[in-house]
Structures are given as C-alpha cells and as structure tokens.
Structure 1
Amino acid sequence: LSGSEHEDAQYSFYPLLQMEEPKDAQYCFQDRNSSCRKTSMSTFIYITLYTFFSLISVVTVFLNLLVIISISHFKQLQTPTNLLILSLAVSDLLVGLIVIPASTVAILESCWVLGEYFCALLLYAIFLCASSSLGNLILLSFDRYVAVCDPLFYHLKITTRRTMCCISITWCCCIIYDATLINIYVDAQVPSICFEECYLLDGHFWVNIMDIVITFVIPCSIILTLYLKIFMVARSQARQVYSKKAATVSGVKTIQASKSERKATKTLGIVVFNYLVFWNPFFLSSFLFSSNNNLASYFVTFLPLVNSLINPIIYAFFYPWFKVATKQILTLQLRHLFCLQWIYIRLQEKVGNLFNY
C-alpha cells in the first residue's frame, strides 16, 4: 500500500473515532500550529458513551460504598481480612469517584482544556489507585498465606491492630512514592493541549522501567509466589481430608475450619486474578508500544478501571455476610425509617449468627 492508502485503511479501521483529516478540520487551539485535531464523533455515539461511562462510575461508587459501610459499621465484620477488603474498596471508590469521570472526559474530549495541574492530578489519582490496590492485594495474599499454611498461629500473627498498621504504612508509601513520581514527570511536561500529551509520558524511559518493576513486576511476583505456596498447601490438605486419619471428631472440626479459610482464599484469589487480567494489558502496552491515538489504546486505558466495578460483585457472589449486610442497608431507607435502633440491633444479631454458624 502507498502512504495515503495505508493511512486511509488505518482510519477506516476505527469507525467510532474518525481521525481522517478533512480540509475543514477543526483544531483544539486554532492559534497553535502544534494543536491536535478535534475528534469527529456522531452525537448518538457521543451521548451513548458518556451515558455508559457515567453508569459505570455511579455503579462502581455505589457498590464500593456498600462494602465500606458494611465493614466499617458492624463490628462483627471487622476482621483482619475484611479490613484489607475495606482498604481495597477505598481504592476502588476513588477510581469510581475521580478516575473514571476524569478519564471519560479526557478520552471523549480530544482537546485537553483542564490544564496542566489537573493533568497531574489525574495521573496521580491513577497511579495512587493502582499502587494502593496492588499493595492491598499483597497484604491480602500474605493474610491468606498465613491462614492456610499456618492456621494454628493465624490469630496470633494476624491481629486487627497489626493489620491496620500495615494498611496505614501501605497507603503512606503509595502516597509518597506516587507524589515523587508525578513530580519527576510534571517537571518535564509542557502545558497539555491534547489528551495523549497529558496521559502519555515520554522522555523517561528508565524511570518508566523502574516504575513498572517497582509497582507491577515485584508485587505481582510476590503475590504469585504466595498463591503458588497456598495452592500447594491447600492441595496437600485436600488429600488429608479424604485420608482415614482425618476421621476423628477433632479432625473434623479442624477440617471444617480449614475449609472455610480455603473458601475465603479462593475468593480473594479470584480478586487477585481479576486485577492481573485487567491491569496487565495497560502495563504491557505502556511499556512495549508507543502512543497511538486510536480506539484500541483508549480501550486499554479504560479497561483497568472496570476492575474496581468487578470486585464488589465478586464479594456479593462469594461472601454471605456481604449479601446480608447489603440487604439490610438497602432496606434501611425503604422500611423501618423511624426504627433505626431496632434495625441496628436486628442486623447485629443476624451478622453475629452468620459468623457463629
């Protein structure tokens, strides 16, 4: 193909975002020769995409708020594992509250009119949510490792106070690290006039490599190593379940407790797998490929944000306490409006009975 034919074929491959430059093309800033073109999009597609992304944002905020309220309000749910889930839900809440709306505007509006400082704020929010989520997943993996591999000493090693300290340290490290990273990027960043100029950071090859190693390769290696050991121990325990030596009464109680821990480990393993599936394309594309202003690059950019919507749905499917607490919270506004104390007592009893069971 000739140069013009190749360009036409490239633009026709993305029907939603028509990048072909007509003679009367409009630019974001007419007085700047380096200004990017305005994206041409039909009104129907424009409104549909805004509605779709807004719906994702609202549902993400709503579901993660349910998780946060459920765990923070009822003391029976404030176990070390659930506190880590609460911290992860806070990261997902920030994604739905800040990152998804800002990213939607940035993707659908090719002209970046929010300025350099908001560009830095958006990047900081994305980095913070990604790093804090991965930090919480490391803590969850370690929590499940101790619960499955060393169950007798789990309650001695993993306490609520230690868990809260680890969560605080993780968030502080993420805040400081991401602030330092943004400071390095923004110092060399010119005032942005296009979305890709704001979002894609060039000229820091070794910094990008270091960031990917610190915030993705090393944490993922730790998580996968812990879950590999968990899998090996869980398989060994599963064999013991069917052995004749596990037929005693005391052995049955131990097996039931171990089965409960393995179920929680399986659920959180799905959460970890979900994170890796949604974030891997983003990190790989940012490292291996150059910037492309096309539909595929926008899809890879927005894909990790959907991860924050999936996590509460996983809790709803696998955690009975989340179903019970959610049902009571939602009916709180619809029924017994003037019986708040009665509802509180009843919910405490139901959640307590669920854990005693």
Structure 2
Amino acid sequence: MEDQDRAELCFPQLFNSSCRKPEISQSDVVLMDLLFFICVFTVTLNLLVIISVSHFRQLHTPTNLLILSLAVSDFLTGLDSMLEAHKQTACWFLGDIMCSLHVYVSSIFLSVSTGDMVLISVDRYVAICDPLHYSTRVTVTRVKICICISWICSVVYYSIILKNELTQPGMNNFCYGQCVVIIHYISGIVDSVLSVIAPVTVIIILYMRVFVTAVSQARAMRSHVAAVTLQHSGTVMNKKSELKAARTLGVVVLVFLMCFCPYYCISYVQISSNSALPIASGLFLSYINPCLNPVIYALFYPWFRKAIRLIFSLQILQPGSRETNML
C-alpha cells in the first residue's frame, strides 16, 4: 500500500512533503498535446515575422516596427507556454526559483503584447483620424522609443507586483512539486485595472473611432472616385493603403481580445475543479493568439508572403537582399 502511495507522489523520496501527481483526464492530455504543437507553430511563424521585418530595409516602417515588437513577445510567449503546458498537467520538477521566474517572464511577455496592441491602436488612430500629421507625429524613432518604454515598464511593473515571489520563491507552495504564485488582493486589483481593464478600454475606444472614420472615408472615396484626377491618385492610393492596414491590424486586435478575454474571465472567477480542463481551455485560447497573428499577416500582407518565399529559398543570404523591393 505504501509503495502504491509513493508511486503517486511527485517526489517519492520525500514521502511526507511531496505533492501528489495531478489527476489528468484524457481530454486534458489531448488539449495539452495540441497546445504543445501550437507552441511550436507559434515560435516558427513569429520567427519568420521577426526575420522578415528585421532583414528587409523597406519594411522598417513605424507600423511594422510595432508588428516586430509584437512578434518578439509572441515568439517568447510560445517558448514560455511550453513550460505552462507542463505545469498544468504534471508535477513541477524545475524548482521554486524557476517557478517564480516562469510566472515573472510570462507576465512580462503578456504585458508587452497588450502594450503593443495599445500602440498599434494609437498608430492606426493617428493614421486614419489625423492623416495629415501622421508622418510627423509617428516616426520610426518615436516608435522605437515607445517600444523600449513598453518593455522597460513591463519589466519594472512586474518586478514590483511579484517582488515577494522573486525574493522568496516557493513561499506559497504547500508541498514539493507544486508551482503556485499568489498575488496580494490589493495588488491583484491594481494589476487587473492597469494590465487588463485600462488597456482593453483604450483599445476598444480607439478602434471604434478608427472604424467610424474609416467607414466615412471609404464612402467618400467611393463617391468621388470618378472625379479623382491623376494629380491626386497618389493620395487616394495612400489612403487606401492606410485603410487596408487599419483593417488588417483591426483583425489582429479583435482576435487578441477574443482570445484573452475568456482566459481572464476564467482566472477571475477562479473555477474550482479537480480537472485542469477549465484553466487549460483558457490557456489554449490565450496561447493560440500568438500563433494566429502571423497567419493574419500572411492572409492580408503580400510583403509577408513574399518574405517567406525569399527566406525559404535562402535568397536572403545573397548580398544586397536587404534592399529587395517588398511592396
């Protein structure tokens, strides 16, 4: 009987202080296996986005730099989510320090992704609602500064929120083989407002404004298309390009909200269950989002499809490939 009990422990040699292995159903196993493959695709696809935007000089635009930052955070999320899949369905064998670091870095990556979505919304808002000043207000240098600020603020913010866990790793674990991080009630409320409610509200408000303006501009363009002269054709084409970019990035933002809202709802309700399925389902949606973003780019951006062809054909290794015309 004692041997059977030991077999069910994460650390059999620590009979009195070891956690029991979690009870995993067949549906949990299937879901986590699927999550693992999604993580692999996430890492691969976002790596293609990173190489594309970083390598080709013509793609170094303010909007694409935001896409690059989002791809970097999604790429790192894909790597980190492999640990999360393990954490949900098995004993934690990596120790208390790695547990705290895992939660810390995953929080940073999610925060940066949310920050990038806010910046993308601001970028599209200025491009559509104030196009005459877009080139002067949104520059490559300013976007780089905003991206750096977003990453730095995320690192500093979660260093404060998770200070106790980082200085005393494992303080909330009841047994060996467990990875539990508990945020203080007040800190949790502040974190909910600053990292979820506030940015999501800003994103929705900005894109509602973008949508209304884009619809009115599209109607105006259609009604005056017959009167467009050659002199103004360049302006019209530029406006069409901005509207298309707003539509594409609007899909990215919408998918982001659809994927992360269920996860936060599940987390806030704190579903009590012996099965890992409820939380796993929320994780599945939240971690599928970084995989979907490159798919959206491939569907809507010809330059991304062209970049993929150049990457797989190894043409990017040729001298002068950085100057290739991608648009």
* TM-score range for the pair, normalised by the shorter chain length: 0.7 to 0.9
Aligned length: 319
Distance 1:292 1:163, change over 3 A: same
Distance 1:303 1:242, change over 3 A: closer
The aligned residue for residue 148 of structure 2 is 168
RCO higher in structure (CA 8 A, sep ≥6): 2
The aligned residue for residue 6 of structure 1 is none
Larger displacement relative to structure 2 (159-168 or 293-302): 293-302
Distance 1:291 1:198, change over 3 A: farther
Q: Counterpart of 2:254 in 1: which secondary structure?
A: helix
Q: Pick from 257, 262, 277 the counterpart of residue 243 of structure 2.
A: 262
Q: Is the 8 A contact 1:116 1:192 kept in 2?
A: no
Q: Is the 8 A contact 1:112 1:192 kept in 2?
A: no
Q: How many Å separate the matches in 1 of 2:26 and 2:222?
A: 63
Give the alignment's TM-score, normalised by structure 1: 0.81
The aligned residue for residue 42 of structure 2 is 60
Q: Does 1:229 align with 2:209?
A: yes
The aligned residue for residue 70 of structure 2 is 88
Q: Pick from 117, 125, 128 the counterpart of residue 148 of structure 1.
A: 128
Q: How many Å separate the matches in 2 of 1:286 and 1:41?
A: 20
Distance 1:192 1:64, change over 3 A: farther
Q: Does 1:316 align with 2:286?
A: no
Q: Is the 8 A contact 2:271 2:278 kept in 1?
A: no
Residues 85-140 of structure 1 show CA distances to partners (whole Å, capped at 9, x for unaligned) of 0000000110112x12211211221x222211111111012201110001011111
Q: How many Å separate the matches in 2 of 1:311 and 1:86?
A: 11
Q: Pick from 322, 331, 343 the counterpart of residue 313 of structure 2.
A: 331
The aligned residue for residue 196 of structure 2 is 216
The aligned residue for residue 37 of structure 1 is 20
Kindly report which structure 2 residues correspond to 1:1-357, keeping only aligned pairs within 5 A, or say none.
Answer: 26-29=8-11, 31=14, 35-40=18-23, 52-97=34-79, 99-109=80-90, 111-186=91-166, 187=168, 189-191=171-173, 193=175, 198-199=179-180, 201=182, 204-244=184-224, 247-249=227-229, 250-294=231-275, 295-332=277-314, 340-341=318-319, 344-345=320-321, 348-351=323-326, 354=327
Report deviation, 1:175.
0.8
Larger displacement relative to structure 2 (32-41 or 296-305): 32-41
Q: Counterpart of 1:236 in 2: which secondary structure?
A: helix
Q: How many Å separate the matches in 2 of 1:90 and 1:213?
A: 25
Distance 1:308 1:293, change over 3 A: farther
Q: Is the 8 A contact 2:43 2:75 kept in 1?
A: yes
Report deviation, 1:244.
4.5
Residues 220-276 of structure 1 show CA distances to partners (whole Å, capped at 9, x for unaligned) of 111111101111111221221233497231454433221110110111111111111
RMSD: 2.8
- Structure 1 unpaired stretches of 5+: 1-21
Q: Partner amino acid for 2:236?
A: I
Q: Is the 8 A contact 1:200 1:291 kept in 2?
A: no
Report deviation, 1:297.
1.8
Q: Partner amino acid for 2:318?
A: L
Q: How many Å separate the matches in 2 of 1:266 and 1:217?
A: 23
